[in-house]
């Protein structure tokens, strides 16, 4: 197993890695909408936060030698299921391969953000 480390995604804020590679599978940790350049939450709307979370997932996958087109499964967490339709609009522009997905509402997310996305992908 190999840890994924990239400056293009937020640093882990706890005792975990940005992701792990096992054989040809890539497992990203949940990515919240933190701008890796500033360390601050990006935006206050679900549109902006969903886009930043997707960009962070993409950066982790790229650092592992994979891509958004190779995502097999995602798990998405929303602070408010009322954001689901708008979240979907943003999500589908990044996850164009339509991977398997679970999406659940949660009580609270780290830093009180509106969404978090984790992914499993493959690499050649």
Q: What is the pLDDT of residue 14?
A: 84
In whole angstroms, give the CA distance from residue 117 to residue 124: 23
Other beta carbons within 10 Å of 83: 19
Domain count for the chain, please give it.
Answer: 1
Q: What is the pLDDT of residue 12?
A: 86
Q: What is the pLDDT of residue 65?
A: 97
Over residues 50-88, the pLDDT tens digits come to 999 999 999 999 999 999 999 999 999 999 999 999 999
Other beta carbons within 10 Å of 74: 21
The whole-model pTM stands at: 0.96
- Please confirm, yes or no, whether 103 is among the known catalytic residues: yes
SS3 at position 64: coil
Q: What is the pLDDT of residue 111?
A: 94
Residue, of 12 and 99, whose pLDDT is higher: 99
Contact yes or no for 4/12 (Cβ under 8 A): no
Domain that holds residue 22: 2-122
Q: Give the domain CATH number at 25.
A: 3.30.1330.40
In whole angstroms, give the CA distance from residue 102 to residue 30: 13
Over residues 23-53, the pLDDT tens digits come to 999 999 999 999 999 999 999 999 999 999 9
Q: Given 54, 76, 103, 115, which residue is catalytic?
A: 103
Burial level of 28, CB count in 10 A (0-12/13-18/19+)? buried
């Amino acid at each position: 197993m190999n840890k994924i480390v990239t400056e293009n995604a937020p640093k882990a804020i706890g005792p975990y890695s940005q992701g792990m590679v096992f054989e040809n599978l890539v497992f990203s940790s949940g990515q919240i909408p933190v701008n890796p350049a500033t360390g601050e939450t990006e935006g206050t709307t679900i549109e902006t936060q969903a886009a930043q979370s997707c960009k962070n997932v993409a950066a982790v996958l790229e650092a592992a030698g994979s891509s958004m087109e190779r995502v097999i499964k995602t798990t998405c967490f929303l602070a408010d299921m009322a954001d689901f339709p708008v979240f979907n609009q943003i999500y589908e522009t990044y996850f164009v391969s339509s991977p398997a997905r679970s999406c659940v509402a949660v009580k609270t997310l780290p830093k009180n953000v509106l969404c978090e996305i984790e992914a499993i992908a493959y690499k050649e």
